[in-house]
């Protein structure tokens, strides 16, 4: 069962007020959940991209905790669109980043490959649609 309590954070390393922001991107090629309609497993990759909020409140997600959170979807029956929405909402709610993108890319069912993208906040033009 998806478990948002698994997620851990550490403070952004950008601590001086005039330092430029950083953009962080984590891609897992090992995501799996279950189709609620057929009961068959779905496989895909998940990309998280975000700019942490400014110090002192800004945080970054800790990699191992992110992996465990993703693993908690393993036996969950959930549609592509809902997975994407849920992960984006959870990470956005907990991290409160400047902006965030969450992209899932699925290996396909019935010969159709799918990509779902969710965004939060004011994503700069250069990152939109990626």
Provide the annotated active-site residues: 35, 42
What are 47's strand-pairing partners?
A: 27, 103
Decide if residue 89 touches a second copy (CB under 8 A).
Answer: yes
Q: Minimum distance from CB of 25 to a second copy (Å)?
A: 4
Q: Minimum distance from CB of 22 to a second copy (Å)?
A: 5
CB 110 within 8 A of CB 42: no
Per-residue mark of binding to a second copy, 7-36 (x: CB under 8 A): ---x-xxx----xxxxxxxxxxxx-x----
User: What does the alpha-carbon distance between residue 26 and residue 70 come to, in Å, rounded to a whole number?
Assistant: 12
Hey, how many other C-beta atoms are within 10 angstroms of the C-beta on 19?
Answer: 12
Which position among 4, 82, 90, 96 is part of the footprint of a second copy (CB under 8 A)? 82
Two tokens at 95? Answer: 């991290």
Where in 94-113 is the site for a second copy (CB under 8 A)? 107-113
């Amino acid at each position: 069962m998806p478990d948002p309590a698994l997620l851990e954070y550490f403070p952004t390393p950008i601590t001086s007020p005039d330092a430029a922001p950083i953009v962080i991107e984590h891609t897992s090629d090992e995501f799996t959940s279950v189709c609620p309609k057929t009961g068959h497993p779905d496989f895909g990759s998940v990309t998280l991209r975000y700019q942490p909020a400014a110090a002192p409140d800004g945080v970054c997600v800790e990699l191992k905790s992110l992996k465990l959170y993703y693993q908690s979807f393993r036996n969950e029956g959930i549609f592509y669109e809902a997975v994407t929405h849920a992960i984006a909402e959870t990470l956005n709610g907990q991290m409160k980043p400047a902006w965030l993108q969450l992209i899932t890319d699925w290996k396909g069912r019935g010969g159709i490959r799918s990509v779902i993208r969710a965004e939060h906040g004011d994503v700069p033009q250069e990152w939109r649609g990626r």
